[in-house]
Amino acid sequence: MIAEMREVLQSVLGTALDGEPHLLAGGASKEAWAVDAGGERLLVRRAAVGVIHRHTLSLADEYGVLEAAHGAGVKVPRPIAYIPDLDGREAFVMERLDGETIGRRIVRMEGVPPQLPTQMADELARIHAIPRDRVPFLHEARLERMVEEFDEVGEPHPAVELGLWWLREHRPPPREPVVVHGDYRIGNLVVRAGDGLVGVLDWEFAHVDEPVRDL
- pLDDT value at 171 more than 90: no
pLDDT for res 88: 87
Range name among 13-27, 83-97, 176-190 with the lowest pLDDT average = 13-27
pLDDT class of 177 with cuts at 50, 70, 90: very high
Name every residue whose Cβ is closer than 8 Å to that of residue 188 and which is 6 or more positions away in sequence.
101, 181, 200, 201, 202
For 74-130, what is each residue's pLDDT tens digit? 999 999 999 999 988 899 999 999 999 999 999 999 999 999 999 999 999 999 999
- pLDDT value at 54 more than 70: no
d(CA 201, CA 106): 15
d(CA 194, CA 22): 27
Name every residue whose Cβ is closer than 8 Å to that of residue 162 and which is 6 or more positions away in sequence.
none
Count how many Cα atoms sit within 13 Å of the Cα of residue 9 in the half-sphere of its side chain: 29
Q: What average pLDDT is seen over the chain?
A: 91
- pLDDT value at 51 more than 70: no
Label each residue of 143-175 as H, E or C: HHHHHHHHHHHCCCCHHHHHHHHHHHHCCCCCC
**E-assigned strand segments in the chain:** 22-23, 30-37, 40-47, 79-86, 89-95, 178-180, 189-192, 196-200, 207-209
| Angle, in degrees to the nearest 10, between helices 158-169 and 143-153 | 160
DSSP 8-state code for residue 124: H
